[in-house]
Amino acid sequence: MIHEVIQPLSGSQATLTTYVIENSEEMEQDRLRPAVIICPGGGYEFLSDREAEPIAVKMMSFGFQAFVLHYSIKPNVYPLALQELAASVQLIRQNHAQRHVDPEKIIVAGFSAGGHLAASLGVFWQEAFLAETLSGANHEWRPNGLLLSYPVLSSGEFAHEGSFRALLGDAYEEQKEQLSLEKKVSQNTPPTFLWHTLEDGLVPAENSLLFAQQLRSHEVPYELHIFPRGGHGLSLGTKETASGGAHAIEDSVVRWPELFADWVRFNF
């Protein structure tokens, strides 16, 4: 395994940790694999370890190359974390052979507020402010797909207000509407896999439902799973990623990684 920590964006404190499966002369030595760039949640105030390395290891078990982005959080504000994520996609794509990545199968994954970050790149990858920060063409940081796990997406009626306040700081009132991402979906948004739970009392499932509705209206391929049980922040839903005893153990959601892996195999 190639396990290293790299800095994707000059002048930023963000780091990208790699979990890369090495090729072998015994097993298709020139193989290129799908890549999953993981953005942990934490309300843009901290980064959850439960949604970082355990997810990377799980993705590796499906034969995917995995990368965990430790992006900038409060007191840093928008759009720094988005620039860091875009730079990470660009770096992996530009150096794809070095890390055995298929450059046409780079998926950005986000959990909770990390889902907002991942989806932001999905809807804003063509915007001029990213091109002004990064050198190159915008297709270099366009993700091929999105994985959104119980994501923060809407700043409206179903908003997780704390995430938007941490992300925007003093510009919260001025910019919150701009970052209600269900309103920014277009035909250029990448194919998307979403999952949520009906019992999520912190980030309501309407965040995923509204986003999926817009994907549908713009004819963007998507797969959506709404599981009946479980609160917010389930990660893998297993004992491995549980927090505080039985919290975040939920058998009904443990199949989501397999469902996602099948979605990648059948659609990319």
The Cα–Cα gap between 238 and 247 comes to: 10
Give the mean pLDDT of 85-105.
97
List pLDDT tens digits, range 148-204.
999 999 999 999 999 999 999 999 999 999 999 999 999 999 999 999 999 999 999
Q: What is the rounded CA–CA span in Å between residue 153 and residue 264?
A: 22
Tokens representing 185 are 């979906």
Q: Quick one: pLDDT at residue 29?
A: 84
What is the pLDDT at residue 24?
86
CA distance 201 to 139: 37
Homologous superfamily, domain 2-267: Alpha/Beta hydrolase fold, catalytic domain (3.40.50.1820)
Residue-wise pLDDT for 135-159, tens only, equals 999 999 999 999 999 999 999 999 9
pLDDT at 263 over 90: yes
Q: Are 3 and 16 in contact (CB under 8 A)?
A: no
**Can you give the pTM of this predicted structure?**
0.97
Q: What is the mean pLDDT of residues 110-128?
A: 98
pLDDT beyond 70 at 245: no
Residue 26: the pLDDT is: 86
Rounded to whole angstroms, the Cα distance separating 98 from 85 reads: 19
* Helices (H), ranges, 183-246: 206-217
Strand 15-19 with 192-197, pairing: unpaired
* Mean pLDDT on 85-108: 98
| CB-facing half-sphere around the CA of 177: CA atoms within 13 A | 2
Q: What is the pLDDT of residue 152?
A: 98
- Helical (H) or strand (E) element with 70: strand 65-70
